[in-house]
Amino acid sequence: MQRIALLTSGGDSPGMNACIRAVARKAIYHGMEVIGINRGFNGFIEGDMGPMNLSSVADIIHRGGTILHTARSEQFLTPEGRARAYENVKRFGVQGLVVIGGDGSFRGASVFSREFGLPVIGVPGTIDNDIPGTEQTIGFDTAINTVLEAIDKIRDTATSHERTFIIEVMGRRNGSIALASGLAGGAESILIPEQPFDYEDICQRLLRGFRRGKAHSIIVVAEGASGGMEVGQRIKERTGFDTKVTILGHLQRGGSPSAADRLLASRLGAKSVELLMAGETRKMAGVKAGQVVGVDIDEALNESRPVDLSLYDLAGVLSI
Ligand code: ATP
């Protein structure tokens, strides 16, 4: 394989740049040429792409976001859009493609690879940690550390004012961020989409704490578990407590990647190039039992990736 291309797609996540660097440098190390595609599948369709060299990826390992920019592409969902992208595969002489993104991006990559026979490898980059077939995704560790920092700061002000603080974090269908940051941040309650909850229970827990002299309470809510504003309102109605809601929003996607995410991004990025060199296609570079492995994309996408409910149970015990 002489020339590979890479793109970032879907939501951005901290560590994508470290991964771009790893893919480019590993490929160049092995004597290949690298084409960077801007703005995800949109740039692929429009031919917004060009050669990368060692210095294109210098000084980015510590930066959040993605220097290649990312997008969600309506056009790539259509056979016509993908055919236009294939014209650019021919025009630029691309022999293999690395797609850094989430499960949607992998579906697109897999369809494209089957239609046109181009070898494609996925690298899981999403803060949600919701991709089947890998224990970790690039960006999750940084995101939960960002949330944790916010929880710690809110805890300081909560202690001073004796209030109930609701912190809404990302996760429309998946409670991974809420669960990990809530447990690590010592939240009184954690609400996630995967687990039904009862306002009566939550309020009783708050009232018990209040009677015991607890100065404040922190509740972490995934956005898919009814949302922070709603939770704040319902608790206020039932307990009369002053509830303050903080919606962390997009700041969870930003920031310099943690050491763990930079390591993961470097390992998975390098693995994606190895997989292409080994003649593999429709594989994802992922982590299983702590080891970096190649996983069949189509098989992985047919599996589900449940949150670890033992963490949920543990958080319930520790916040008694
Ligand atoms: P995140 O987890 O951050 O949302 P994602 O990769 O899952 O990232 P999506 O918006 O679901 O983000 O997918 C990214 C892009 O992949 C879509 O905008 C679309 O262009 C392409 N894509 C998704 N599913 C398909 C599909 N079935 N066929 C072709 N392309 C697809």
For residue 255, give the DSSP letter. S
pLDDT at residue 225 greater than cutoff 90: yes
Mean pLDDT of 7-12: 96
Q: Which domains does the chain have, with CATH numbers?
A: 3-139+257-301 (3.40.50.450), 141-253 (3.40.50.460)
Q: What is the rounded distance in angstroms from the CA atom of residue 51 to the CA atom of residue 32?
A: 11
Torsional sign, CA 101, 152, 63, 67:
positive
pLDDT at residue 272 greater than cutoff 80: yes
Pocket test for ligand 1, best of 46, 72, 84, 137 (most atoms within 8 A of CB): 72
Ligand 1 site, residue 107, Cβ cutoff 6 A? yes
Q: What is the rounded distance in angstroms from the CA atom of residue 286 to the CA atom of residue 295?
A: 7
Mean pLDDT of 116-127: 98
Ligand 1 site, residue 185, Cβ cutoff 6 A? no
142: part of which helix (H) or strand (E)? helix 140-161
Residue 174 CA neighbour count, 13 Å, CB half? 16
Pocket test for ligand 1, best of 7, 76, 250, 297 (most atoms within 8 A of CB): 76
| Cβ neighbourhood burial of 253 (10 Å; 0-12, 13-18, 19+) | buried
pLDDT tens sequence across 40-97: 999 999 999 999 999 999 999 999 999 999 999 999 999 999 999 999 999 999 999 9
Ranking 25-34, 136-145, 235-244 by mean pLDDT, the lowest is 235-244
Closest CA to 46 of 11, 76, 26, 69: 76
What pLDDT is attached to residue 236?
93
Q: Check whether 114 is labelled as a binding-site residue.
A: no
Residue 146: pLDDT band (50, 70, 90) is very high
pLDDT at residue 245 greater than cutoff 90: yes
pLDDT at residue 161 greater than cutoff 80: no
Q: What is the rounded distance in angstroms from the CA atom of residue 273 to the CA atom of residue 22?
A: 9
**pTM of the predicted protein model:** 0.95
Distances (CA, A) of 118 to 236, 275, 282: 56, 13, 9
Strands 217-222 and 189-191: what pairing? Answer: parallel
What pLDDT is attached to residue 74?
97
Residue 130 a catalytic site member: no
Average pLDDT, the chain: 95
Q: Are 127 and 177 in contact (CB under 8 A)?
A: yes
Mean pLDDT of 291-298: 97
pLDDT at residue 158 greater than cutoff 80: no
Chain centre distance of CA 213: 38
pLDDT at residue 100 greater than cutoff 90: yes
For ligand 1, atom 25, the nearest C-alpha belongs to 108
Q: Can you say whether residue 59 is alpha, beta or left, with left for phi > 0 and alpha for psi between -120 and 50 degrees?
A: left
pLDDT at residue 304 greater than cutoff 80: yes
Q: What is the rounded distance in angstroms from the CA atom of residue 177 to the CA atom of residue 106?
A: 22
> Cα torsion at 216, 313, 151, 208 (round to 10°)?
0
Higher pLDDT, 216 or 51: 51
Residue 215: pLDDT band (50, 70, 90) is confident
pLDDT at residue 29 greater than cutoff 80: yes
Q: Are 256 and 62 in contact (CB under 8 A)?
A: yes
pLDDT tens sequence across 162-182: 689 999 999 999 999 999 999
What pLDDT is attached to residue 80?
98
| Cβ neighbourhood burial of 1 (10 Å; 0-12, 13-18, 19+) | middle
> How far apart are the CA of 263 and the centre of ligand 1, in A?
25
What pLDDT is attached to residue 238?
93
Catalytic residue among 48, 59, 128, 201: 128
pLDDT at residue 288 greater than cutoff 90: yes
What pLDDT is attached to residue 91?
98
What pLDDT is attached to residue 211?
87
pLDDT at residue 136 greater than cutoff 80: yes
| Dihedral pair phi/psi, residue 295, rounded to 5° | -120, 140
